[in-house]
Amino acid sequence: MSKLLPRIPDSWNKDLTYQVHGTLSECVIRELEPVGQYYLAHARRKLHNYSFLVDERTLAENEVVELEADYEEEEEETPELLKRDPKDWKEQDHYAVLGLSKSRWRATEDDIRRAHRKKVLKHHPDKKASSGNTNDDSFFKCIQKAYEILTDPIKRRQYDSIDPLIDNSVPSSKTEGDFFQIYGPVFEREARFSNKTPVPMLGDTNSTLAELETFYDFWYNFDSWRSFEYFDKEDADNTENAGILHKIIFYTHSPNQAKALDPRIAKLKAEERAAKEAKMKEKEEAVKKAEEEAKKAAEEAQRIKEQQEAEAKQKQLEEKKVKEARRKAMRTERKSIRNYVKSNNYFHPDSTTLSSELLAIQISELDSILENLSLEETQSLRKRLDDSANRKVAKTVLEDEAARLIKKGVLKPEAIKHYGPDAAVKPTATAQSGGKEEKEEEKNKTEEDKEEENKEQPWTVEEIAVFIKAVNRFRPGVANRWSQISEYVAQHSGNPPRTSEELIKKSKEVQKGAVALDEKDVRKLQLLRKHSDTRITEEPSMREATINYDDPTRLTTETKIISSESSKAKSPSSDKSTSKKNNAADNTTANAANNTKDVAGSASDASNQPWSASQQTQLERALQEYPKDYQGSADRWDLIAAAVEGKTKKECKARVKYLVEQVKAARRVSQ
């Protein structure tokens, strides 16, 4: 099909072969980010090297697995599991209770919810009662507790960290077999505790140098979320030291051992040695030429250096002169402003006599304003004060400058009262009367605060019983004794935490006996006495509520006392006295005290100063950098001590020994 073009218009320029009727817009550069399901499918195929057919088949298989998981048979509860006491919920297998013992940490939130729904429908007390079965709801409580733990991300991580089915063993360097089959599962098992993803795996014999470097760098700096406070949440020191010991054992020993036995590393080292030997000859030939060039370059560098030093020295002199001139100008401007304010009686009427206290405050506020101004700002302020018509205008200028500094965040509003935005000029008499009003308001406010403070929450009998246990448990001399008692009472009674003053007051009341308590409370406590000791044997002291147990000087003193006691323990007489004291104390308390004393005594001889968090981190990194198999020419412990600020070689050794012994002591106590 043909189409005739229209006739050329009369306005057409016959000298041109074309005519522009319009233009295109300029190109715009935009950043595009790939998103959507089709991009995810493309990335998945690219990552796994799948074709379209293989990818679709894999997705279909996964959907079938998910559907089968919904209809798979439930795990049957064992008789021992059904008889579990919900009070011992920390000892139960939460995954087994919900029927997820096979999935365990791989179970998703949907899996946990589906499993919980099935268990509730099967073991709900109402359903059991209607069917004529026993009305025991113990296992149902275990189900609820397991669901509570596993649906809380933090609590689930804590439980997964101490999962009894986790294999924490590390293969020995003498273990024979395939390297990848031995160490591959070790790193795969620990990878799920990583805060960073994706986690590089061990790989195979075809791994590149970049992959090896990425793998070992990742595991040398492994950031784990694994914690150990699930069973010993109240004893943070033991769990923290257990975590440190785990890091020292696994994250320092395993990567070093794997790297030492890695055949790929040995192959790369051999290739590097061959390459170095080949380059040695080339370097020897270029030595003479390099020496000559280096000599010329050194002479030229020395000349340039001398020239630069001379220029830098001249520049420093000029900068010093400029700074000195600015400092001098700043002193002059500040002095002029101070004299101006002083000559105007600090913006008070001439008939007003300022007290020394008020005068000191106003001078301090003026100095605070001037110290936060640059030279240009100070000159501008002085000029505006000189141009002011009267002292009221001048005071407004100073107030505006103070408001600007407050708005800028340089000064705090409460630090500027006289020259602040809300300041008002009052004579001495008015100030005195205002002071009386402020004192009355402060007095009234203090009385109201005292009334609010006196309105404490009433004590329940159960709370008093828990309080008595806490007082007898945390004896005088325990660090932060009343804070620990407050946390213990709040945790076991379910009530808000009490202040130290409330606890000391109640302790005195309980010591007085029935005189200070209600008759109903006394009768209930008498019933509770059959099951527990409700006597307080130690007199409370206000000094204990005010001692700062974290004071470094006090810690140092206590460490010296422990050191002296450990040296005295070597004599037979001290051994006898120690054994008598231990026999008089509670068995469990005595064992824990003996273990703690042994650990403290071993470390106190070499380290009388406490370790900070930064020093502990430096020690851990140094142990990773210089492991036991370090083959350098320098002494390993000298290098470790050099990496820890403020600590000697002896102190570093004692610290590592202290950590290991402390964890061992904690394990002995728990057993």
DSSP symbols for 391-412: HHHHHHHHHHHHHHHHHHTSS-
Q: Spell out the CATH class of 552-670.
A: mainly alpha
Question: How many angstroms separate the CA atoms of 47 and 522, rounded?
Answer: 73
The two tokens of residue 133 are 């079965």
pLDDT of residue 151: 92
Question: Containing H/E element for 443?
Answer: helix 428-454
**Residue pLDDT, tens place only, 72-108:** 566 778 888 888 888 888 888 888 888 888 888 888 8
Q: Name the fold adopted by 68-161.
A: Helix Hairpins (1.10.287)
pLDDT of residue 670 exceeding 80, the answer is no
**Residue pLDDT, tens place only, 601-646:** 444 444 456 788 888 889 988 888 888 888 777 788 888 988 898 8
The two tokens of residue 41 are 């499918």
| 231 against 163, higher pLDDT | 163
pLDDT-based confidence at residue 297 (cuts at 50, 70, 90): very high
Question: Where along the chain do the CATH 1.10.287.110 domains lie?
Answer: 68-161
What integer is the mean pLDDT of 25-29? 88
Residues ≥6 apart with Cβ < 8 Å to 478: 484
pLDDT of residue 461: 76
End-to-end CA distance of the chain: 99
Whats the size of the chain, residue-wise?
671
Looking at 344-408, list the stretches that DSSP marks H as alpha helix, in order from N- to C-terminal side.
356-371, 375-386, 391-408
pLDDT-based confidence at residue 148 (cuts at 50, 70, 90): very high
Residue that is written with structure tokens 């061990």 in the block: 202
pLDDT of residue 326: 92
Mean pLDDT lowest for which of 145-149, 172-176, 492-496, 589-593? Answer: 589-593
pLDDT of residue 327: 92
Burial (CB count <10 Å: 0-12, 13-18, 19+), residue 662: buried
pLDDT of residue 296: 92
Question: Where along the chain do the CATH 1.10.10.60 domains lie?
Answer: 552-670
Mean pLDDT lowest for which of 101-110, 217-226, 317-326, 551-560? Answer: 551-560
Report yes or no on whether pTM surpasses 0.85. Answer: no
pLDDT of residue 534 exceeding 70, the answer is no
pLDDT-based confidence at residue 599 (cuts at 50, 70, 90): very low
pLDDT-based confidence at residue 554 (cuts at 50, 70, 90): very low
What integer is the mean pLDDT of 305-319? 93
Would you tell me how many other CB atoms lie within 10 Å of the CB of residue 107? Answer: 19
What integer is the mean pLDDT of 196-222? 85
What φ, ψ does residue 224 adopt, rounded to 5°?
Answer: -105, 140
- Indicate the average pLDDT of the chain: 75
Q: How many helices (H) and strands (E) does the chain have?
A: 28, 0
